Amino acid sequence: MAEEHSPIGGLHVFSTGTGSIHTEHRYGTRLPQMWWVLFSRNWVEVPINVFVLEHPEGLILFDAGLDTAVLTNPTYVDSRIGRFFMRRLFRLTMRAEETLTNKLAGLGFDVADVRKVVVSHLHFDHVGGIAEVPQADLLVSRNEWAQLSGPHPERDFIFGEHVQRPGARWQVVDFEHTDDPLLAPFGGCHDVMNDGSLILLPTPGHTPGSISMLARIKGRAPVLLIGDLAYEAELLMKDQLPGTGNKAQLLDSYEKVRELKRHLPELVILPSHDIAAQEYLSSNPAQQGAPADHSTAARFSVG
Ligand SMILES: [Zn+2]
């Protein structure tokens, strides 16, 4: 059933460039990870999605895509071994004009109107555009932020110098206790706009601090943006694990998301590297409902 009273007026998606990853990476394999990383010749092309939500207080982004510097700056990854594994794992293409600023302009939005960026996790292909939104709060989970002080975050494609940029307004999110039976199984949640429209949920597995965002959008079924928890929603539904990540954590998060979907059968699950997100949003334009009601907060509740 479409939401009628959410302050969120629209959801859009675009891709900042494209990438290819190994099929073993996306769909999993019984082969040892190092084998397919080094020897696989099977590639599948994927988008690098940024989601845009229209809130009365400004634009809220989920993920910030790729930085053109990945392709133009030969030392974007500063270690030689890092550059070697980058080439083995990702084939990236991005035209100079495919920036966050230009992609937003293509949808009729001004980058200066971005109020917050929710970062699903700190991998380079999810934080690339943060330099273009110096005015925005950048939300990241505490567990993910802790990855930066680990011994070698760059070995997991978290590049501190591109995350902790001068002036970047990072806000580390702690999840609060909730009694809402819909959200409680996740062990906590964070209400981004304090109006119940955008709820962050811990969904570890791809990285220890990966998060998802449950969004209530006017004229749409509820949406769960899951970052890289799964590369396709169907893979999550059938417990088909990808080639990387913490298997036990992934399976635990998959079950929590399926439990959420059992309570909200109309829930639409949108991953950050799935072309299905574009297809879904272009083939399901928002339904016209009642005028936006900003006076009463839209809350999630069962039933
Ligand atoms: Zn990614």
| H helix or E strand, kind and range, residue 254 | helix 247-263
- Tens of pLDDT, residue by residue over 266-296, are 999 999 999 999 999 988 887 754 444 433 3
Q: Are 14 and 49 in contact (CB under 8 A)?
A: yes
17 CA → ligand 1 middle, Å: 12
Per mean pLDDT, which range of 18-27, 107-116, 217-226 is the poorest?
Answer: 18-27
**Strand order across the 114-118 sheet:** 91-93, 10-22, 43-55, 58-62, 114-118, 137-141, 169-173
125 CA → ligand 1 middle, Å: 5
63 CA → ligand 1 middle, Å: 9
What's the CATH fold of domain 10-283? Metallo-beta-lactamase; Chain A (3.60.15)
pLDDT at 288: 58
**Mean pLDDT over all residues of the chain?**
90
Do you know the residue count of the chain? 303
In percent, how much of the chain has pLDDT > 70?
A: 94
Beta strands in 43-202 (DSSP E): 43-55, 58-62, 91-93, 114-118, 137-141, 169-173, 190-191, 198-202
pLDDT at 1: 59
293 CA → ligand 1 middle, Å: 35
- Tens of pLDDT, residue by residue over 153-174, are 988 889 899 999 999 999 999 9
Q: Which residue has the higher pLDDT, 207 or 4?
A: 207
Q: Are 271 and 232 in contact (CB under 8 A)?
A: yes
Q: Which residues place a Cβ less than 5 A from the ion ligand 1?
A: 125, 228
289 CA → ligand 1 middle, Å: 34
Q: Are 246 and 147 in contact (CB under 8 A)?
A: no
Average pLDDT over every residue of 129-138: 97
